Amino acid sequence: MNRITDLAALIGRHAPEDGFQDTALPSVTLIRSAAVTTPTPTVYAPSLCMVAQGAKEAQLGRSRFCYDPGSFLLAGVDLPVVGAVTQASADAPYLCLVLHLDAARVAEMVAEHPIADRQEDRPIPGLILGETTAEMIDAACRLLALLDAPEDRDALAPLLERELLWRLLRSPAGQLLQQMAGGPQSDKLNRALQWLRHHYAEPVSIDTLAEVAGMSPSALHQHFRTVTGLSPLRYRTQLRVQEARRLMIARGLDAATAGFQVGYGSPSQFSREYARTMGLPPSRDVERLRASTDHLVA
């Protein structure tokens, strides 16, 4: 991995300030943090996270995923996780490349290059770690180098993103890309996930969600927990609490109003579930966040 310093230099140059940096490559976001951060809930969309310097930890349910320049993190569905930068300093900041995955592109590649021994009806976790190879780092360096070559960007960026997908597909992580590309069970689970993402503020039962997905309640519960690490109702709670936090920080809402807007009829129930999810009651958590920049690099 002798090009990892090149990748770190490219990220550092194009992300000079802490936080998330959008780039001229629509599928690429860069992240920088000059300090470790406190664990902060966020939602990981389908993406590949490659760390060039420093380290980070993501927690999904009871599972913890620690990744650094030797490993990548791959998310195949929208997942509410708790993330924290665990290794960073002003002299050696945390630097990460995030490649957002387009389902159509993934499906196209999987259709062209299927994995022969794929267990179609056996779900796997939607968040996995893999070993970052020299070939992946080289492709990532060439992709970021296009930020300095606008005349080549439109023609070459899709090819280099496809190369990274190919490297993933040929690795043990390829099973997750296969699952992301779809299949009878994956499509049903995705219907349930998308419904929860849009209706998290509404009352819902496992029977209603199973009907949306077209699965039996027991099959949905098992499949959902395997892929997301959470029960359907716990997944909904994570979405509710994270949106309430955003409303309190971005719009200045008080806890009771924010809780009501995300579906809680009882301020005390909202406060209990918020503290269980975030580790602090709403008011104390928001005060902590306003006094720091941790939420920018979660």
Supply the CATH number for residue 23's domain. 2.60.120
121, pLDDT greater than 80 = no
According to the model, what pLDDT value does residue 298 have? 56
- Identify the band that residue 141 occupies on the pLDDT scale cut at 50, 70 and 90: very high
Residue 61 sits in the same domain as residue 118: yes
pLDDT at 54: 98
Q: Give the model confidence (pLDDT) of 19-46 as tens digits.
A: 999 999 999 999 999 999 988 888 899 9
Sign of CA dihedral 31, 32, 36, 38: negative
pLDDT of residue 263: 96
User: Same domain, yes or no, for 157 and 208?
Assistant: no
Q: Per-residue pLDDT for 119 more than 60?
A: no
Provide the pLDDT confidence category of residue 61 given band limits of 50, 70 and 90: confident
- Total residue length of the chain: 298
For the segment 142-165, the average pLDDT, to the nearest whole number, is: 97
Instruction: Say if residue 39 is in the same domain as residue 162.
Output: yes
Domain co-membership, 175 together with 188: no
Q: 26, 159 in Cβ contact below 8 A?
A: no
- Whether 293 has a pLDDT exceeding 60, the answer reads no
Which is more confident, 294 or 21? 21
Identify the pLDDT of residue 278.
Answer: 86
Decide if pLDDT at 117 tops 70.
no
Residues 71 and 191 in one domain: no
The pLDDT score that the predictor gives to residue 1 is 46
Residue 276: exposed, middle, or buried by beta-carbon count in 10 A (0-12, 13-18, 19+)? exposed
Q: Is pLDDT above 80 for 188?
A: yes
pLDDT for 291: 77
Query: pLDDT digits over 204-254, tens only?
Result: 899 999 999 999 999 999 999 999 999 999 999 999 999 999 999 989 999
Sheet holding 63-67, edge to edge: 40-44, 79-87, 55-60, 63-67
Which residue range is the domain that position 144 belongs to?
4-181
Instruction: Based on the fold, state whether residues 76 and 168 are members of the same structural domain.
Output: yes
- What is the C-alpha separation between 14 and 68, in angstroms, rounded? 20
| Domain match, 166 and 188 both | no
One domain, residues 167 and 201: no
User: In Å, what is the CA distance from 7 to each residue of 11, 44, 49, 88, 148?
Assistant: 6, 22, 13, 16, 14
Q: What is the distance, to the nearest Å, from the Cα of residue 168 to the centroid of all Cα atoms in its chain?
A: 16
Q: In this structure, what CATH number is given to the domain that contains residue 273?
A: 1.10.10
Q: Count the domains in the chain.
A: 3
If asked whether residues 109 and 200 sit together in one domain, one would say no
End-to-end CA distance of the chain: 26
pTM, whole model, 2 decimals?
A: 0.88
Asked if pLDDT for residue 294 goes beyond 80, the answer is no
Are 289 and 241 found together in one domain?
yes
Q: What is the mean pLDDT of the chain?
A: 92
Residues 108 and 176 in one domain: yes
121 with 263, same domain?
Answer: no
Q: What's the CA gap between 85 and 93, in Å, rounded?
A: 10
Average pLDDT over residues 74-80: 94
Mean pLDDT of 130-153: 97
